[in-house]
Amino acid sequence: MIAQPHHPVSDQGVSSIVKSRCGISLILAVVVLMSVTAVRANSLGYALSGGGARGLAHIGILKVLEEHGIKPDYISGTSIGAVIGSLYSMGYSATEVEAIVLSIDWARLTDDTYKRKDIYIGQKRWAPYGNFSLDFTDRWQTSIRTGVIESNRMNLEFARLYAPASPYQDFNELPIPFSAIATNLLTGEEELIDSGSLMQAVRASISVPSVIRPFKIGDEYYIDGGVANNFPMDRVREMGADICIGFKTNSALRTEDKLRNLIDVLDQTINIGMTRAIAGRVDSLCIVLEPPLDEYNARDFERAAEIIAAGEAYARENITYLLLALEMQGYRRNLRYSPSEPLPTEYRLSSIEVEGNRYISDSKILEYLKLYNGSTYTIREIINACHFAWNSQFFSIVYPILVPDGTFYKLTVIVEERERRNLGLNLVYTSEDQLNASAVLRVNNLILKNSSLLAELKLGSNNELNIDYVKNFGEFWGIYYRIFGYVNEHTTYLYNENNYKTDSVNKLEYGVSSGLGFFGGEYLSLESFIFSYRTNLYRDISQNFPLQQDFTVSGFGFKAYHESLDDFYFPRSGLRSLLKLDFSRDRNLSQYIYSKFEGNLDFYRPYNSRLSIAMKLRYGSYFDQPSQALIDPFMIGGSEGYMGYPKYAISAPYYKIYELALSYNPFKRTYLDLGIQALNISDYDDWSLQQDLEISPYLSWGYKSPVGPLKLVIAAPLNDNIQAYFMFGYTTDIFRFSRR
């Protein structure tokens, strides 16, 4: 029977006094029986319900019960109740469990986006893209995600939490015997998990349907235990408890006015099943504690401390009556402290195995992990190794399981590979180029192993077809071969002796480049390449246009790229540098002879958690052939250049842009930049202190939305009109490193 402490009840006798005064209900038949017969309850069990963030109130209740010598002999938990109950069963005190839970960044557990600074330099060859994406199997069938959250960070965090319990493959041998409740997705049946990996048992129990992807153990898939049994009081009785205390924290069904959005409806759908699953679980020897948590919902993990405190306050208010109820059932408290055996902190590996891989070999995955038999590691080192492998972007899931092997441990790394085919849909709008839409197909290991193909078809103000194929020889360090082909159609411009735009013409260009390069870990890519392209000018060509209508340019070049930014579009720390040097020197191969260099250097240094300083330098030079800048003019203005001029308004054979800015992050996903730019353009390379500079302060606002960056920039040049730019989507050229 479930107590409703703040509502009147109509029962009479002893049980009604207990209800009305303390909010703890006992069944009348049990009270009468104990008043006649002295019954000794030898064992006590705790049943911890689900409830999302509301379930953190379990900790507050545990603290009070522990202070008064009430300690369970058995624990069974569902969902968040499995998390709290399992930690307590490992021998941690309630205060220690509280510290563990408060140290977890719950929001980060659900964030499975790759951090730009963590991925390998080989993956940074391409700029981020894709407002939406679809995975395809090798048979080109769509692969639909089974949950909003892929949960790799959650898996790794739980692996860290439960690694100390690895010696206990039978949960009955834990300091407090424990069982977790999960729901088998294939059979729909409730399953009690009391052996194997404690981490896997708990993860299976908290997989909220449609939100967190089903969790796989062996050949079975599991979802949240609350679907089948959200209040496992019957299970803790089956474990051997004579009497049990149930901690009930799941929310009541919402009323119509509280079903405001899709998340509310999904939560209500899940809660209907959980509410029904409670029916019939409470028997005559159960005491149910239900703290008032109406002001909290299942997603309020940022209010963890408040919720724990609410559970503690409720337990303190009612502890006198709870002690009376337990005494009436013959339970005797244990006020002596019984320390648990110390849990392991280091693990010496006897063997390392990989489970779940389909295409990538065990030996290749072990190269990613860099863990070795016979060596001793902390769990943090093992977790970091798994995270390092995950950053290869070949896996959606990578987490470790440790099993005792004598005085050693057997490490099994569970992986799930990403599909090798992916289609990204890229919708981009800028006030400069208007709307462009593209589809980007990525295929890994096509033709050759350890290779990637990226193909983009773009339509809009710029029409393009780009195909980039890269074959790596090595995983973290090594050499690579690239072939990049393209066809594009866009407008090119003519500039006068003062560097201002005077004429335009449409241009169709197609070309190819082939390169051999070196890549090193997270640090650097170097590439030498050859290139050739042909250009056809058409439509509205003026008679005095200085270029031939059709021409071919061929040559060779070098380029280098380094990036250690924490984010590509809204960086707050790190360094980015891109250098390109092109030479066209043979008149037998090229109708124009020139040498061209362009380089970017961006440096970001955080001042505190919200404020950082940015310094940037852009430089371009046609060396000793300034007249050849007409062939492929520098785009100096615009949102990615000097913002005091529109994108195509100005060009020059030599330019330098200096920039200094403050970047402020006032809210999550929101960014404000206040900066100043200085531009020098000329017909010769001038690095003197007397160089002429144009100055433009600017202010920008940015927002990192789930479907792409949003950015608004206002620039106020001292010698010209105010310029405004609006951008949505992944605006940077995906193949900016691949191009000549």
| pLDDT of amino acid 416 | 93
Q: Under a CB-based contact definition with an 8 Å cutoff, are residues 293 and 308 in contact?
A: no
Question: Which residues make Cβ contacts (< 8 Å) with residue 363, sequence separation at least 6?
Answer: none
From residue 690, alpha-carbon distances to 182, 399, 497, 621, 686 in Å are 73, 59, 21, 19, 9
| pLDDT of amino acid 19 | 34
Number of CB atoms found within 10 A of residue 447's CB: 9
Q: Under a CB-based contact definition with an 8 Å cutoff, are residues 453 and 443 in contact?
A: yes
pLDDT of 630 > 50? The answer is yes
| 187 within some domain | yes
Q: Are residues 655 and 528 both part of a single domain?
A: yes
pLDDT of 415 > 50? The answer is yes
pLDDT of 593 > 50? The answer is yes
Q: Are residues 178 and 311 both part of a single domain?
A: yes
Choosing from 301, 329, 357, the residue where a domain stops is 329
Q: Under a CB-based contact definition with an 8 Å cutoff, are residues 675 and 697 in contact?
A: yes
CATH for 721:
2.40.160.50
Range of the domain at 358: 346-417
| 536 within some domain | yes
Q: Are residues 509 and 584 both part of a single domain?
A: yes
Choosing from 417, 440, 463, the residue where a domain stops is 417
pLDDT of 610 > 90? The answer is yes
Q: Please, what is the average pLDDT of the chain?
A: 85
Q: Poorest-confidence range of 122-136, 329-343, 719-733?
A: 329-343
CATH for 285:
3.40.1090.10
| 228 within some domain | yes
Q: Are residues 551 and 646 both part of a single domain?
A: yes
Choosing from 395, 417, 439, the residue where a domain stops is 417
| 427 within some domain | no
What value does the mean pLDDT take over residues 197-202?
A: 97
Give 478-494 pLDDT, tens digit per residue: 899 999 999 998 777 66
Q: Under a CB-based contact definition with an 8 Å cutoff, are residues 174 and 168 in contact?
A: yes
| pLDDT of amino acid 123 | 85
List, as one string, the DSSP characters of 363-374.
HHHHHHH---TT
Domain count, the chain: 3
| pLDDT of amino acid 141 | 85
Q: Are residues 397 and 365 both part of a single domain?
A: yes
Give 669-679 pLDDT, tens digit per residue: 999 999 999 99
What value does the mean pLDDT take over residues 397-415?
A: 95
The burial of 104, by beta-carbon neighbours within 10 Å (0-12 exposed, 13-18 middle, 19 or more buried), is given as middle
Q: Are residues 315 and 350 both part of a single domain?
A: no
| 13 within some domain | no
What value does the mean pLDDT take over residues 357-366?
A: 89
pLDDT of 282 > 60? The answer is no
Which band of pLDDT confidence, cut at 50, 70 and 90, is reported for residue 23?
Answer: very low
